[in-house]
Structure 1
Amino acid sequence: MSVKIWIINQFGNTPDVPGHIRQYELGQFLSNQEYEVEVFASDYNLTQRQYRKLKPGQICHSENYHKLKWNWLYATPYKINNWQRYVNMLSFCISLFILGLIKPKPKIIIGSSPQLLAAFTAWILAKIYGSYFYFEVRDLWPQVLVELGGKSPKSLMVRGLAWVERLLYQESDRVIVLASGAVDYVKNRGATKVHWLPNGPDLTEFEHNITPKQAKQQYNIPFDCTCLMYTGAHGTANALATVVEAARILDHEYSEKILIILLGDGPEKENLIQQAEGIQCLQFRAPIPKQQIPQFLQAADGLILTLKNIPLFQYGVSPNKLYDYYASGKPVIVAVGGAVNAEVEAYQLGWAIPPENSQDLAQSVMSLFKTSPEDKQAMGQRGKSLVYSTYSRATICQKLSTLIQEDVNH
């Protein structure tokens, strides 16, 4: 009889829509090893802010997607990060609990943050069924609400979430962290069996037949300009106002020599578009499905990652887009600080600057513009080598499979 595994992440996606696809890739790998895998995610797509599969009155739409059984669950809609966001999270937990109670018992349940309450609901289901429970820590809640959201550590909501967080660390059979710097953080809060399984790309998707010139033509990017890209969410945490202001600094002298593309969507996008009015070297583009990102990155000469200047991001992030950037073989400009900046500097992958400093970001873009093609290629190749040695999705999936096999055979 095959071993049943549930993977639960409210914001999980399949490759045909925008957003991260870690749960899909982990599930695919495990399915190919003859595990029976089901994924539970919200049908309300966070990037597109719309439902995709559910019809009115439905709480679940299940489909088979490349050997995976994918359960799209109902959650209430929201447009901006206000009280409706918390209702959205609670409604997903209710849908998950109802569906979970009528499903056949799984051997292992993997509950993934940042939605801490969804992981808590997954743990409750694991307790009911007597299943192994793995807690995957993508973001450190509720710390992110304090540092990024401005919530008081003494507020009832933060204290409640901190209690849930500690319970999950202490009661989980395994705790999986994506950021290496988070290992000590979770151990200090009671986690015992802790495993670092970072984000990382499927390297087969970056084996291109398309050249950078062909990619520029396909995506309507001028051949005679240096193109820098950011791909991903346009939210408060991403600090894209820094990119806008850097583009404003560059615009007078480099408006026809440099093009910066911000591809994606999110609650801050409209504000950013208004902020960028009149800047010629900056362009906003709509999100594209995740499976198209590797080809789109081929059109870039350099890639940008920015985050807010908060202590949490110095040690507690594993930005999926960064490892896609490395895999594309392009130099990077990172404005994150901490472990991310240190890695880029140590391996000479591009430029590492302080977060939220538009002047330094503009200077780094100018430096990239003036760097020889040979040096840029060498930076990109070093990034590729790092992905193959450390961040390959195949390696990460195999490590997870080994952990599962240990518990299955216990």
Structure 2
Amino acid sequence: MPRLWLINQFANTPELPGHTRQYEVAAGLVRYGWQVAVFASDFNLTQRRYRRLRFPRLWSTECPAGIHWTWLWVSPYRRNNWKRQLNMLSFCIHLAVRLGPAALLGRLTRRAPDVILASSPQLPAAFTCLWIARLAGIPFVLEVRDLWPQVLVDQGGKSPHSPMVRLLAWMERQLYRHAHTVVVLAKGAEAYVRERGARQTAWLPNGPDLELFASRPVPAEGTLFTVLYAGAHGDANALENVLAAARLLEQQQSPVRIRFVGDGPEKQTLMQLAADLQSVAFEPPVAKAEIPGLMAEADAILLSLRDVPLFRYGVSPNKLYDAYAIGRPVITTVAGAINAEVEEYRLGVTAPPGDPEALAAAILRLVHTPRAERQAMGQRAIELAHTTYSRQRINAQYNALLRGVMA
């Protein structure tokens, strides 16, 4: 039975809020005969709190879906300051202490993993895993979720010449050059990683678990048209733009309600901005297992991102593909590949990022679109989810890729 170590600091199991890609990949690989160990932080990224561990307890293990899952304690943080850097460093130290000796001793006892797979965006953790793999002579695969440090420059305003960005860029190049394969989630990121040294790449995007995200009929006509945003409430999501559009829709007395489900560093500020809006509701984050039911209640699903050059080619938003699988029209404000896909396949409506007037107009176009056409949009989305983005399809490709690496 082949053995895999899968490392992502922010990995979650389905009962927790946040992305569950590593859980879904690991569970799929278990069904393909792999013995999978996942290492993740117990400090939940969405909620900014511990779920299982209290210091001085440093780790715990469980076996969901046949996965050997280890939760590691890390230092906490609330905002993106020096405490976040300490949070990442503490995870790296934990990996080095726990995985380093286990990998080296495992080579002697034949219990080492056959492949180590590290998933970004946490480059220092992936870099730690790369050197554990190299010292132990174990093939290493890198999965690129977000393009660090480029996102820190494009979105965060960091200088490309700052010491931190230079250090992360050096780590990035080492990872690309020494990984057997670099897996990218966004198709447009393949050229980016190849330019920086990746020898072999594979496109394995985010996507829905079709057993969980089964198609649901579009809601019956009602007095209100419900738009759902479910996800992070951070700077990158540009939700103040959505609130400005909601204000315009209220002024026009449009029958639109917008639900914001999730959490993040900007949520309190957003709630203050929306204090006088009757058509907006903010709700706490929910577990991934509850998302299909939430989406089924909505007439359309919203994806909002800021106008950042990197987002034009370098994102693979899971909530978008979940909406496809459920069969809901989508509203997107992501310039580049995302808006282009929605327009090409006629899956909903689009607006430029940072333009509340255009977003309000797009939402109104969808409100006034006949239900039969909105159903047709949903059906086309379902077909695309099954043929391109399904988790089952991605897991089969991952199994083939990792067996090839092992061979």
Considering the TM-score relative to the shorter chain, is it more than 0.5?
A: yes
Counterparts of 1:49 and 1:345, CA distance in 2: 36
Q: 1:287 pairs with 285, 288, 303, which one?
A: 285
Structure 1 segment 108-127 matched on structure 2, within 5 A: 108-127=115-134
Structure 1 segment 10-409 matched on structure 2, within 5 A: 10-103=9-102, 104=106, 105-207=112-214, 212=219, 223-254=222-253, 257-408=255-406
Counterparts of 2:188 and 2:120, CA distance in 1: 17
Query: Structure 2: which amino acid aligns with 1:164?
Result: M
Counterparts of 1:85 and 1:223, CA distance in 2: 45
Tell which deviates more after alignment, 55-64 or 174-183: 55-64
User: Is the CA contact (8 Å cut-off) linking 1:306 and 1:356 kept in structure 2?
Assistant: no
Query: Structure 1: which amino acid aligns with 2:162?
Result: S
Counterparts of 1:38 and 1:212, CA distance in 2: 41
Q: Residue 155 and residue 199 in structure 1: after superposition, are their counterparts in 2 closer, same or farther (change >3 A)?
A: same
User: Is the CA contact (8 Å cut-off) linking 1:106 and 1:129 kept in structure 2?
Assistant: no
Q: Residue 143 and residue 288 in structure 1: after superposition, are their counterparts in 2 closer, same or farther (change >3 A)?
A: same
SS of residue in 2 equivalent to 1:205: coil
RMSD over aligned Cα atoms: 1.4
Tell which deviates more after alignment, 152-161 or 399-408: 399-408
Residue 99 of structure 1 deviates from its aligned partner by: 1.3
Residue 163 of structure 1 deviates from its aligned partner by: 0.5
Residue 208 of structure 1 deviates from its aligned partner by: 6.1
Question: 2:109 maps to which residue?
Answer: none
Question: 1:219 maps to which residue?
Answer: none
Residue 140 of structure 1 deviates from its aligned partner by: 0.4
SS of residue in 2 equivalent to 1:334: strand
Normalising to structure 1: TM-score of the pair? Answer: 0.95
Query: Structure 2: which amino acid aligns with 1:60?
Result: W
User: Is the CA contact (8 Å cut-off) linking 1:229 and 1:262 kept in structure 2?
Assistant: yes
Tell which deviates more after alignment, 101-110 or 244-253: 101-110
Counterparts of 1:162 and 1:207, CA distance in 2: 40
Residue 4 of structure 1 deviates from its aligned partner by: 1.4
Q: Deviations over 1:112-153 (max 9, x none)?
A: 101111111111111122111000000000000011111100
Normalising to structure 2: TM-score of the pair? Answer: 0.96
Counterparts of 2:32 and 2:139, CA distance in 1: 19
Query: Structure 2: which amino acid aligns with 1:82?
Result: N
Query: Structure 2: which amino acid aligns with 1:172?
Result: A
Counterparts of 2:16 and 2:215, CA distance in 1: 21
User: Is the CA contact (8 Å cut-off) linking 2:218 and 2:327 kept in structure 1?
Assistant: no
User: Is the CA contact (8 Å cut-off) linking 1:210 and 1:295 kept in structure 2?
Assistant: no
SS of residue in 2 equivalent to 1:386: helix
Residue 35 of structure 1 deviates from its aligned partner by: 1.1
Counterparts of 1:345 and 1:119, CA distance in 2: 36
User: Is the CA contact (8 Å cut-off) linking 1:10 and 1:115 kept in structure 2?
Assistant: yes
SS of residue in 1 equivalent to 2:97: helix
Counterparts of 1:248 and 1:340, CA distance in 2: 25
Residue 3 of structure 1 deviates from its aligned partner by: 1.7
- Structure 2: where are the runs of 5+ without partners? 107-111
